[in-house]
Structure 1
Amino acid sequence: MSKSTLAFALGALAMTASLYAAPEPPIYNSQSTSHPESGLHGMVSSREKLATEAALGVLKDGGNAIDAAVTLGFAMAVTTPQAGNLGGGGFMLIRSADTDTTIAIDYREKAPLAAHKDMFLNENGDVDKELSRYSHLAAGVPGTVAGFALALEKYGTITLAEALAPAIDLATNGFPINEDLYESLKTGKPRLESHAPQTIDIYYDEEGKPYPPGHIIKLPNLGKSLQLIAEQGPSAFYEGPIADLIVKDMEAHGGMITKADLANYQAVEREPVRGNYKGYEIVSMPPPSSGGVHIIQMLNILEPLDLKQYGHNSAQSIHLMAETMKYAYADRSKHLGDSDFNPVPVEWLTSKDYADEIRSKLSMGKATPSTEILPGEPIHEGLDTTNYTVIDNKGNAVANTYTVNFSFGSKIMPPGTGFFLNNEMDDFSSKPGVPNAYGLIGGEYNSIESEKRMLSSMSPTLVLKDGEPFLLTGSRGGSQIITVVLQVLLNVMEHEMNLSEAVAASRIHHQWLPDKLFVERGLSQDTKAILTEKGYEVVEGRAMGTANSVSKEDGVYYGAGDPRRPDTFAEGF
């Protein structure tokens, strides 16, 4: 990124800073559990209790972690429609005991065939945010159904119909609205009312108020869609009656997704990115996720600094993490994108040598202004997301993160389908140097192209200890996902916290631009004062991420539901 582009980006980011300073409901009580290995079949941690219980039921019936993860994902498409989805996409990291390998399944959404670089620019050449976020053009071709079907077919032991059965039951026979969904319905009503008016009759009472927690709700159209997938397989979604409903709605409202787009979509397996930190092996998602690359990059930078000597969340530890985050997000702005379209220098970005180079530039005493940090140059020859984790006693493990992007995505529900479409097209760089909804700057590598997958921050991550699954984590939170996962890993590997402590501990975030250090409530006034003296603009505000995690150590399974959301639930048996 040039100096002029950087200056332009700084000006544009002034409009996005309020996104991070907005207040959020208080942190909720965590639900976590642990059990001895004897007689235990596994551990599940997710954002929603009914989905966790559906996954546990699969494990109890003899299914493996992959079976349970797919079942959980479909169940959350019912109980958590603001994030769980059929109309979105994501990433799944699978540790297979049978093959003793870790596989990354990329079911990220893709740009439609007709998509083009300037599709969200108005006549003045400026980005039209309504088009990129709340129109039918905002939706990428969904990947969830294809991704789940691929995972189950290759690594599961149950049928797709069996995995869908709990979700079909919940949608058809009803489930109680929880606090999380209730809060999303309160804030989402204006957009839902204008973009998907049929949802008002489903989720709101006669006075137009969202049904309260505990109210039993049925979703018959969603139940029909799920039943069609159970009977006909993924083709029902990509070529059959569900595809017809999606395309009909697209044609009626100027959208781009066609039958050809849906029929051509495929989830793909990719080789994970790998690193190591003080004897632990880190395995995470490759591009088009930026998360795995930059988590490993930041761990490489921080490893020799011995953060433990400074103390967890001390001013000096936070300073060193924030400086490291700036360099990683600067590199993200230039070098990351869909590796099927542009060569992403993964090996260089995750190398110890490049980490040494960055570390030599870190100021130990003062904050380096973001204007002085530019993306590195290799020596050549992307806020409603949800994650969940599952581990079983056979050695299988899954970390999955999927999303429709914003809460309820584009707020568009094709009539008759029962599910919301994503607005992931906003995760492309609609115009290089102009921030997206999360304030992230992107470059040409993440520009819009036909059939390209948009860059993501989703970061399902596995830590291996002595070659065995030790910790699985991930998060929601848009641009904050990467730093949330980083801190959970550091809390366990560096500060030797137990899983519940690691997930609950206060978090910080810096993403290079805007040049602000965002912190959760919980840091002492003294710490914030020292950070201010070091040159940081400290912004205290909303809770960051939801890092539902599981681990296994010394024959004991642990699960931690992140306390930042009201309905997270971790349980084993």
Structure 2
Amino acid sequence: MSIKCASLFAASLLSLSFASTVQAAVPLAAPEARFSLSDVFSPELSRQGMVVSEEDIASRIGAEVLRNGGNAVDAAVAVGIALAVVLPEAGNLGGGGFMLVHLAKSNKTIAIDYREMAPGKAHRDMFLNADGSVDRDELARGWTGIGVPGTVAGLHHALEKYGTMKWADLIKPAIALAKEGFVLKPAHEESFARAQSRLGRNAESKRIFLDPEGKALPFGTKLVQADLAWSLTELAKEGPKAFYQGEIGKRLIADIQANGGIMTMDDLAQYKVVEREPVRGDYRGYQIVSMPPPSSGGVHLIQMLNVLEAYDIKEWGLNSAQTIHAMIETERRAYADRSQHLGDPDFFKVPVSQLLSKKYAETIRAQINMQRATPSVLVQPGDLEGYESPQTTHYSVMDKDGNAVANTYTLNWSYGTGLTAKGTGILLNNEMDDFSAKPGTTNAYGLVGAEANAVQPRKRPLSSMTPTIVMKDGKVFLVTGSPGGSTIITTVLQTVMNVIDHALNVQAATNQPRFHHQWRPDWVRFEAGFSVDTLNALTAKGHLIQIGSPLGTTESIMYRDGVFHGAADPRRAGGGAVGPEHLQYSW
């Protein structure tokens, strides 16, 4: 079975397995799943580099850049722009994200923060109704819920500082895809169908992504995006200036303001990309490098690994009740800390060093009872003094010289607000929902926030995005990341542990079933595929189990013994792991 056919086959089985949601407080009696994704898939291998993304077309564009002499950053920029065309639910020009760039020659890793920012007219209580409740509809679908986009500025910044090729050349493939069209896959039709009601509320989105009757475009249709092709052409000619000061920006702001939005041309002009120092940790002899605040992902990934390092995870076994219990209890406490201590470091002193300390990990371990689950109502954020982010997409790139890019970017929800700015073809984010619209209440992902993440002008909302690079002996060993809202951090955690603790190859590590706990609500979400005996043992310990839909979509690369091992997550059919020497056909 080919990788592509296997991907479609597995995705079909997964969609059937996750069709229902069952909450279990009593022993489960369903038969254990016998199908194992690990039996079907193996990594894509290459000696010349690797590109892994959620869309095979975008991966092939990146691999072609590598084959033509570009480095990992060049390829990452081309992939990011192409995904804005072929993965409209998450690939974007109207959103923002985080990028880790590792430069092999200098052995240096840079964190590039191109997260969206709140407009200048934003204020703390802007999403509260007269009775003090949160206006969820405006946050999710309204024109005031749009953060100032950072994607164009972020990709251009990375290229200018760390790339080798010309901006205009890297945009050409995306222009062709938008202008000439590409054939939709079953995954596109399913995605359009899920977002049909939101896309149908906006005339531009409906015209582009739905048929004349307002139904999802069927797979096999060629999707042409003429307005997006125009925007991309303007970007190729003028660079970011076209977006932040030029005609693209003027069209964006005109449509936003015509519909009651608060963003201005001055907001676009004042947008800035920030380079930050990555957060770093050690886990069983490996160095973990990840994204710092305003991402919460890197901090809590390392915090949880610090706690779990003292347990004999390998001896307990992959997905055993003992292993999962320790991980759940650790996740419970990390997400409690997230609710209180994380925010934009330019506005709030985040206690990073304390959260990452091994001593604090000891304090957390001392609270964990390995025989019983701790009710979340009894778990509070750590008392730390001195205070020093559903749909997203991740892609990973490595080149033959050992340079690496881990990039996660987003519109927040699938298709963001569902609003397309007239005359641009650009979907607009709803990232203002990632702020704490009312401190102490939950956002769309059920995450609780505090004053640290309250709305303020020019502030960046807290994120869960976790682009991560794992190093071994001074060289890149693993590049990974995932979409998934609040589940991103735990998805990356399990991928890293599957590789390090359980010695799985990167595809097997990707394919393993996943689980997630985030402190509140106090239940554990499991994918299908776990042993019923294990779930019953966890229930007996006091965990409330819920079996639900797939968690995350990792796109990962492992570099070992001179070979790049690429793994596209089969949870979304259509992804691709592509090495430059294996390009059998052009994009």
Q: TM-score range by the shorter chain?
A: over 0.9
In 1, Cα distance between equivalents of 2:345 and 2:462: 10
What is the CA distance between 1:132 and its match in structure 2? 1.0
Aligned position for 1:12: none
Aligned with 2:169 (options 157, 162, 172): 162
In 2, Cα distance between equivalents of 1:337 and 1:203: 35
Residue deviations 1:416-438, cap 9 Å, x none? Answer: 01011000000000011110000
Q: Secondary structure at the match of 1:360?
A: helix
Q: Is the CA contact (8 Å cut-off) linking 2:178 and 2:225 kept in structure 1? A: yes
What is the CA distance between 1:28 and its match in structure 2? 8.6
Q: Secondary structure at the match of 1:305?
A: coil
What is the CA distance between 1:515 and its match in structure 2? 0.4
Aligned position for 1:570: 577
In 2, Cα distance between equivalents of 1:52 and 1:45: 6
Aligned position for 1:7: none
Aligned position for 2:314: 308
Going from structure 1 to structure 2, the CA distance change for 1:317 and 1:117 (only over 3 Å counts) comes to same
How many residue pairs match? The answer is: 549
What is the CA distance between 1:22 and its match in structure 2? 9.0
Going from structure 1 to structure 2, the CA distance change for 1:550 and 1:431 (only over 3 Å counts) comes to same
Residue deviations 1:433-492, cap 9 Å, x none? Answer: 110000000000000000000000000000001000110000010000000000000000
In 2, Cα distance between equivalents of 1:127 and 1:450: 19
Structure 2 spans left out of the alignment, 5+ residues:
1-18, 24-34, 582-587
Aligned with 1:213 (options 200, 212, 219): 219
Aligned position for 1:461: 468
Aligned position for 2:238: 232
Q: Is the CA contact (8 Å cut-off) linking 1:31 and 1:568 kept in structure 2? A: no
Q: Which moved more, 1:558-567 or 1:203-212?
A: 203-212
Going from structure 1 to structure 2, the CA distance change for 1:125 and 1:552 (only over 3 Å counts) comes to same
Aligned with 2:374 (options 364, 368, 371): 368
In 2, Cα distance between equivalents of 1:490 and 1:345: 25
Q: Which moved more, 1:523-532 or 1:327-336?
A: 523-532
In 1, Cα distance between equivalents of 2:96 and 2:390: 14
Q: Secondary structure at the match of 2:198?
A: helix
In 2, Cα distance between equivalents of 1:269 and 1:20: 43
Q: Is the CA contact (8 Å cut-off) linking 1:274 and 1:284 kept in structure 2? A: yes
In 1, Cα distance between equivalents of 2:428 and 2:386: 40
Structure 1 spans left out of the alignment, 5+ residues:
1-18
In 1, Cα distance between equivalents of 2:242 and 2:409: 21
1:119-198 correspondence runs (5 A): 119-194=126-201, 196-198=202-204
Aligned position for 1:341: 347
Q: Is the CA contact (8 Å cut-off) linking 2:37 and 2:508 kept in structure 1? A: no
Q: Which moved more, 1:562-571 or 1:477-486?
A: 562-571
What is the CA distance between 1:179 and its match in structure 2? 2.2
Q: Secondary structure at the match of 2:161?
A: helix
In 2, Cα distance between equivalents of 1:156 and 1:545: 29
1:304-453 correspondence runs (5 A): 304-380=310-386, 382-453=389-460
Q: Secondary structure at the match of 2:250?
A: helix
In 2, Cα distance between equivalents of 1:337 and 1:453: 8
Q: Secondary structure at the match of 1:133?
A: helix
Q: Is the CA contact (8 Å cut-off) linking 2:107 and 2:474 kept in structure 1? A: no
What is the CA distance between 1:268 and its match in structure 2? 1.0
What residue identity is the alignment partner of 1:34?
Answer: E
In 2, Cα distance between equivalents of 1:240 and 1:199: 23
Aligned position for 1:483: 490
Aligned-pair identity (%): 51
Q: Is the CA contact (8 Å cut-off) linking 1:32 and 1:571 kept in structure 2? A: no
Going from structure 1 to structure 2, the CA distance change for 1:32 and 1:180 (only over 3 Å counts) comes to farther
What is the CA distance between 1:27 and its match in structure 2? 10
Establish whether residue 245 from structure 1 lines up as the match of residue 255 from structure 2: no
Query: TM (normalized to structure 1)?
Result: 0.94
Establish whether residue 294 from structure 1 lines up as the match of residue 304 from structure 2: no
What is the CA distance between 1:519 and its match in structure 2? 0.6
Residue deviations 1:130-183, cap 9 Å, x none? Answer: 111110011000000000000000000011101111111100111111222211
1:40-59 correspondence runs (5 A): 41-59=48-66
Q: Secondary structure at the match of 2:93?
A: coil
In 2, Cα distance between equivalents of 1:466 and 1:231: 43
Q: Which moved more, 1:202-211 or 1:255-264?
A: 202-211
Aligned with 2:521 (options 514, 520, 532): 514
Establish whether residue 34 from structure 1 lines up as the match of residue 34 from structure 2: no
RMSD across aligned positions (CA): 1.7
Q: Is the CA contact (8 Å cut-off) linking 1:27 and 1:563 kept in structure 2? A: no
Q: Secondary structure at the match of 2:195?
A: helix
What is the CA distance between 1:287 and its match in structure 2? 0.2
Q: Is the CA contact (8 Å cut-off) linking 2:488 and 2:552 kept in structure 1? A: yes
Q: Secondary structure at the match of 2:427?
A: coil
Establish whether residue 530 from structure 1 lines up as the match of residue 537 from structure 2: yes
In 2, Cα distance between equivalents of 1:465 and 1:98: 16
Q: Is the CA contact (8 Å cut-off) linking 2:200 and 2:214 kept in structure 1? A: no
Q: Secondary structure at the match of 2:88?
A: coil
1:15-30 correspondence runs (5 A): 21=21
Aligned with 2:120 (options 113, 117, 132): 113
In 2, Cα distance between equivalents of 1:211 and 1:139: 26
Aligned with 2:80 (options 73, 79, 84): 73
Aligned position for 2:106: 99
Aligned position for 1:64: 71
What is the CA distance between 1:395 and its match in structure 2? 1.3
Aligned position for 1:199: 205
